[in-house]
Amino acid sequence: MADEGIFYDKDADLAALDGKTVAILGYGSQGHAHALNLRDSGVDVVVGLRENSESRREAESEGLTVLDVADAASRGDVVMVLLPDERQAEIWSAEIADGIADGNLLMFAHGFSIRFGQIEAPAGVDIGMVAPKGPGHLVRRQYVEGRGVPCLMAVEQDATGNARELVLAYASAIGGGRAGIIETNFSDEAETDLFGEQAVLCGGATELVQAGFETLVEAGYDPRLAYFECLHELKLIVDLMYEKGIQGMRHSISNTAEYGDMTRGSKVIGPESRAAMKEILADIQSGDFAKEWIAENQAGGENFDRMRKEGADHQIEKVGGGLRSMMPWIETEF
Ligand code: NAD
Ligand code: MG
């Protein structure tokens, strides 16, 4: 299974991109990494940015050609949309769609806009995806070091008959073929990505940490101890799982911790939490989550801003800020 449908550099033909211009729209986390890796792989790249974008100078200092979004979209034979997912639909109608001709390849790094009907491309256009399974700075750093970050690839629409070959070449050119490129489809990528970030990685983990912290503080324990036990040490456990899996992590912790893990974890994530996970997945699959998120943005993002502020005001942030300043070795990794 692990090796099923995985492609490497030897399976890709970079010559498929010869004579083609790749337009990278956006120069954020993914955009800068794709643009620079493609360029260093010998691909002809232009970057599309807003006129007043602060990233312009940064991209130009790398020697990249920077154009307005509309100009880049029309210049590109391959157009990779690396703009915020929630803005893609409006930028598509206003600045991208006119520049996409039949036979062009329209690409994404996340299935959101296509899976949830935010963007509908003409039938004569190829639609593909290359989604690195890591943040852009890792995608760039690994490439420079001669390695790569595994990528997902997918073809949603193959009007020319060449879409797969081109998508694979693109994935290889940003370094994905050094690690492995796994083929999937837009729906599976979009749905699992949203589920992971909502139920486990972001939503699940932050709520778990805050609930544990609050439980100890409400019971009268020192918030600094609560911070260490419920947030700080999470990294040690996650690092072990990341390197060796759950069993490898359990091998490294004490027998007492392992017994507590195996007998108490399912009390925290019990039937109610599992039912909630199914509900979250159903909301994603039905498109209800996407609809809600797009509506929130169209309404000006008031709830989003309020929840951000509430999160920033939580006691754990103040306690953590103080403790992290005592640990100068903690630096942001990316
Ligand atoms: P980002 O927020 O880091 O960058 C977005 C870029 O778009 C910035 O350069 C910003 O200036 C530009 N932009 C914003 N509004 C614009 C507008 N109106 N006109 C022109 N440019 C505009 O985004 P990101 O994290 O790189 O995400 C891009 C895509 O990659 C998304 O589809 C995301 O789901 C996907 N993705 C991200 C990651 C990740 O780890 N960050 C991983 C895999 C896939
Ligand atoms: Mg994601």
DSSP 24-75: EE--SHHHHHHHHHHHHTT-EEEEE--TT-THHHHHHHTT-EEE-HHHHHHH
User: 131 CB less than 6 Å from ligand 1?
Assistant: yes
Give the pair of three-digit tokens for residue 241: 């799982």
Q: Give the C-alpha distances (Å, rounded to integers) separating 138 from 179, 193, 334.
A: 13, 18, 7
Distance, in Å, from the CA atom of 220 to the CA atom of 222, rounded to the nearest integer, reads 7
pLDDT of residue 18: 97
User: 109 CB less than 6 Å from ligand 1?
Assistant: yes
Q: Is 232 a catalytic residue?
A: no
pLDDT of residue 334: 44
**Residue 66: how many CB atoms within 10 A of its CB?**
22
Ranges of beta strands (E only) in 173-249 are 181-183
Q: Give the C-alpha distances (Å, rounded to integers) separating 96 from 91, 107, 170, 254.
A: 7, 12, 20, 56
Ligand nearest to the CA of 35: 1
CA of 193 to the centre of ligand 2 (A): 5
User: 190 CB less than 6 Å from ligand 1?
Assistant: no
Low-confidence ranges of the chain (pLDDT < 70): 1-2, 332-334
16: CB partners within 8 A, 6+ apart = 162, 165, 166, 168, 169
User: 27 CB less than 6 Å from ligand 1?
Assistant: yes
Ligand nearest to the CA of 201: 2
Q: Model pTM greater than 0.75?
A: yes
User: 35 CB less than 6 Å from ligand 1?
Assistant: no
CA of 41 to the centre of ligand 1 (A): 22
* 245-301 pLDDT tens trace: 999 999 999 999 999 999 999 999 999 999 999 999 999 999 999 999 999 999 999
pLDDT of residue 331: 72
The residue whose CA is least distant from atom 40 of ligand 1 is 135
Ligand nearest to the CA of 112: 1
* 61-89 pLDDT tens trace: 999 999 999 999 999 999 999 999 999 99
Distance, in Å, from the CA atom of 182 to the CA atom of 176, rounded to the nearest integer, reads 9
Tokens 């000006």, residue located = 300
The residue whose CA is least distant from atom 16 of ligand 1 is 83
Q: What percent of the chain has pLDDT over 90?
A: 96
Looking at 32, 110, 137, 251, which residue is catalytic? 110
Q: Residue 122 in 3-state DSSP?
A: coil
